[in-house]
Chains A and B, each alone.
Chain A
Amino acid sequence: MADTRSPIIFPHRHLLGIEALAAPDILHLLDMAEEAVALSRQVEKKRSILRGRTQINLFFENSTRTQASFEIAGKRLGADVMNMSVANSSVKKGETLIDTAVTLNAMRPDIIIVRHQESGAVDLLARKVDCSVVNAGDGSHEHPTQALLDALTIRRNKGRIEGLTVAICGDVAHSRVARSNMLLLAKLGARVRVVAPSTLLPAGIDRLGVEVHRNMRDGLRDADIVMMLRLQLERMSGAFVPSLREYARFYGLDEEKLAYAKPDALVMHPGPMNRGVEIDTAVADGPRSLITEQVEMGVAVRMAVLEALAQHLPN
């Protein structure tokens, strides 16, 4: 990949969030990811950019999909990938995050991929290690590779991001996917809307440069992209919304609500889906769904991120 492209150097050692990225950084990563898509569709998928490098996937929260995606991305680039199962580690026995970071650092990894249930935890860990760190999701804060893969998916289907109207619907309050997407899409010039019942909108959302809507009809009107968010099951029964069926009735995406959007509007979901809750099966599996393509783009974007960060690794 790298040999054919202009020698732009990605100006960050870590990828902790979209917030720190400028638009050219984002576009550069998307361009690199396009090449990774092509590579991944070949029979011979293996590259050697990360040969000899050690990548640790450190997941404090269970995630089959994201962890698998990072693992495949690392392996396609030639890295030795180690998945650290936190459930069986000393972290569960009370070791602090910083002690874990220092311990792992001593094993001299080159890249650590971290997911943690607390906002800011990945940032904290990154300060304590010498290697590159990729945020695979921290609390309700950021999930930058998800926003990048969403952007890549949109760009491949719509040809652009600038000027599009993107409606992000559902549990915005607790969603790191929503935060990273709001930041990224705004940086690339999209019009971003959030659509949710007020109990699932965080305080001060109106000051984040997005349009705020409380019903799907207004929120989806003339939208080019409808991005659904996962509703955590524990938030469904009475705490934030009265019931699952009420949520599905007013905020679940079905054909009827999708009709409010543009005729050529496309549907996205970061997965895993609650079918029949935030998204109807007919829509999820329908012709306007990009959900499976998002998964493919996930591997490509993560390969691009790893390659970009590899530019900073010592030889």
Chain B
Amino acid sequence: MTNRPLALLNARLIDPAAGTETRGGLLIMNGVIADLGGAVTRDSVPAEAEIIDCAGDMVAPGLIDMRAFVGEPGAEHRETMASASAAAAAGGVTTMVAMPDTHPVVDDPAVVDFIKRRARDTARVRVLPSAAITKGLHGKEIAEIGLLLESGAVAFTDGLHSIRNAQVMRRAMTYGRDFDALIMHFAQDEDLAGSGVMNAGEFATRLGLGGIPVEAETIALDRDLRLVNMIKGRYHASLVSAAPSLEIIARAKDAGLKVTCATSINHLTLNENDIGAYRSFFKLSPPLRQETDRIAMVEALASGLIDVIVSDHNPQDVETKRLPFGEAAPGAIGLETILSAGLRLVHAGQVNLPRLLHALSTRPAEILGLPQGRLQKGAPADVIRFDPEEPYVLDPALLHSRSRNTPFDGARMEGKVKLTVVAGEVVWG
């Protein structure tokens, strides 16, 4: 942590927690936001402060990504803590929740500890470990929820895996409730999903590919939320993709359950037609759905029904992606493009900027119980500066991730992160 104060001047300060936009400056001292607003000017800040003139760019809380697959330990050829955090910093993500789908699986306090140490030693942004709900992600035996919490796990999830057995899920929720553990579950009925590789429907039929019906998601989600109603624990749907899932979430929220949900940046900006001629970079789990589903996701984001946007960052290399579509691994990288892609919705007039940033920072912070996600005196100085208008064409070669599997390869983007600050230190820009 640097001792030298940092002043971001001449900015448009967006506080998604308060829903405000203010012209002014932001002063960072000792890793926290010391002051902000119109009164923070070149004359008001300490003489020794490093000054950055933001030239009218936006300054907002750093983004908090609740679903990122890192690759360390076990798949460092795809991504390390260092490379993932470099991508995160360049994308404006100041905190990421690392998924437990590693080798070994994060189902043991020693692995949580390993991740925390690797993050401390090699990562530029904050990395919060999540831990497995079930040992080995096998969906059979509950992991050591209490010990994992003590060692620093922020939430429990089986990552890419969905728990098939309702009794196991029920016990995990019941046991987890005693620790007020946050269960983050990817709801997908594995039997219905079967050998499907994309959204079921006309397009899959034309391509001759096996389909995953929307019901694979809604049935599993409905089961989970009925269990939540029975148990009353904290539950976060890790990633929903289909319009009918939103009705199920709305019902649970209306009933007063402690339920939140996320969708991915991909499901907000792409649809199944983007797969085109078997492009495996668009093979995701859950699969990209129809345009009507995407529109429903965007509307639910605008209304606040969808709490959170995740990158669902999942680095895959040549060996796992440059294969026939059916054999390729699902997943796309996303840490570095999450804001640019999200701004597409703002430029299209579908979501306003504070709302977008709320789902990318304030709301995840609330769910995880973090002090970040707001521009406030005394809050941790995790902030970003970005120009929402700056156009660029995405060149995968310039990305910081070790893997190149971006669905935005060659896409025209509008809006770029120019500065990322974590705990008062500049980590990008």
In the bound complex, what is the Cα–Cα distance between A132 and B39 (angstroms)?
70
Q: How far is the CB of A154 from chain B (nearest CB, A)?
A: 23
- The residue of chain A having its C-beta at the shortest distance from the C-beta of B203 within the complex is A204
Nearest CB to that of A19 among chain B residues? B206
Interface contact A203-B202, CB-CB below 8 Å: yes
Instruction: Output the nearest chain A residue to B204 by Cβ-Cβ distance.
Output: A203
Contact digits for B190-208, partner A, Cβ 8 Å, 1 yes 0 no:
0000000000111111111
Q: How far is the CB of A17 from chain B (nearest CB, A)?
A: 10
Looking at A118, A138, A179, A207, which has the most chain B CB atoms within 10 Å of its CB? A118
Q: Establish whether residues A97 and B201, one from each chain, have CB atoms under 8 Å apart when the complex forms.
A: no
Residues of chain A in range 72-121 having any CB-CB distance to chain B below 8 Å: 96-98, 116, 118-121
Cα A15 to Cα B319 in complex, Å, equals: 27
A176 partner residues in chain B, CB cutoff 8 A: 208
Cβ-based interface call for B69 (8 A): no
- A208/B202 in contact, CB under 8 A: yes
Indicate whether A203 sits within 8 Å of B201 (C-beta atoms), given known contacts A120-B207, A123-B277, A142-B208: yes
Contact of A207 among B200, B202, B326 (CB under 8 A): B202
Closest to A140 in B: B208
Q: Please tell me if the beta carbons of B208 and A97 are within 8 angstroms of each other in the complex.
A: no
Taking a contact as CB atoms under 8 Å apart, the answer to whether B325 and A119 are in contact is yes
Q: Are A118 and B201 in contact (CB under 8 A)?
A: no
CA distance A97 to B209 in the complex (A): 18
Partner of B325, one of A120, A202, A205, A207: A120
User: How long is the Cα–Cα vector from A77 to B170 in the complex, in angstroms?
Assistant: 67
| Cβ–Cβ contact B207 & A141, under 8 A | yes
B322 in the interface (beta carbon within 8 A) = yes
Least Cβ–Cβ distance between B180 and chain A, in angstroms: 42
Report the separation of the CA atoms of residues A124 and B203 in the bound assembly, to the nearest whole angstrom: 18
Bound complex: CA of A94 vs CA of B427, how far in Å? 40
Question: A139 touching B201 by the CB < 8 A rule?
Answer: no
Contact B202 A204 (CB under 8 A): yes
Interface size on B, residues (CB 8 A): 23
- A246 → B minimal CB distance (Å): 22
B292 CB → nearest A CB, Å: 14
Digit string of B271-306 for contact with A (CB within 8 Å is 1, else 0)? Answer: 000000110000000000000000000000000000
- Report yes or no: B278 in contact with A124, Cβ–Cβ below 8 A: yes
Q: How far is the CA of A138 from the CA of B278 in the complex (A)?
A: 12
Residues of B within 8 A of A141 (CB): 207-209
Return chain B residues, CB-CB under 8 Å to A142.
Answer: 208
- Report Cα–Cα, A120/B210, bound state, in Å: 12
Is B129 interfacial (CB 8 A cutoff)? no
CA distance A205 to B209 in the complex (A): 13
A208 & B278 in contact (Cβ 8 Å cutoff): no
Q: Is the CB of B324 closer than 8 A to any CB of chain A?
A: yes
- Closest Cβ of chain A: how far from B235's Cβ, in Å? 30
A135-163 toward B: CB 8 Å interface, digit per residue (1/0)? Answer: 00011111000000000000000000000
Instruction: Check: B327 CB closer than 8 A to any chain A CB.
Output: yes
CB neighbours (8 Å) of A202 from chain B are 204-205, 211
In the bound complex, what is the Cα–Cα distance between A98 and B202 (angstroms)? 28
Hey, which chain A residues are within 8 Å of B277, CB to CB? 120, 123
Known contacts being A203-B201, A204-B202, A208-B202, is A139 close to B323, with CB within 8 Å? no
Q: Which of A15-31 contact B (CB under 8 A)?
A: none
- Assess the A121–B324 pair: CB atoms within 8 A: yes
10 A-B pairs within 8 Å (CB atoms) are namely A116-B324, A119-B209, A119-B324, A120-B278, A120-B324, A120-B326, A176-B208, A179-B208, A202-B205, A204-B203
Question: Taking beta carbons and an 8 Å cutoff, which residues of A are in contact with B?
Answer: 96-98, 116, 118-121, 123-124, 138-142, 176, 179, 202-205, 207-208
Given contacts A119-B278, A120-B325, A124-B324, 15 further A-B contacts (CB under 8 A): A96-B322, A97-B324, A118-B325, A119-B325, A120-B208, A120-B324, A124-B278, A139-B326, A176-B208, A179-B206, A202-B205, A203-B200, A203-B211, A204-B201, A204-B203
For the complex of A and B, list the 6 residue pairs with the smallest distance between their C-beta atoms, beginning with the closest: A204-B202, A141-B208, A120-B278, A118-B324, A140-B208, A121-B324
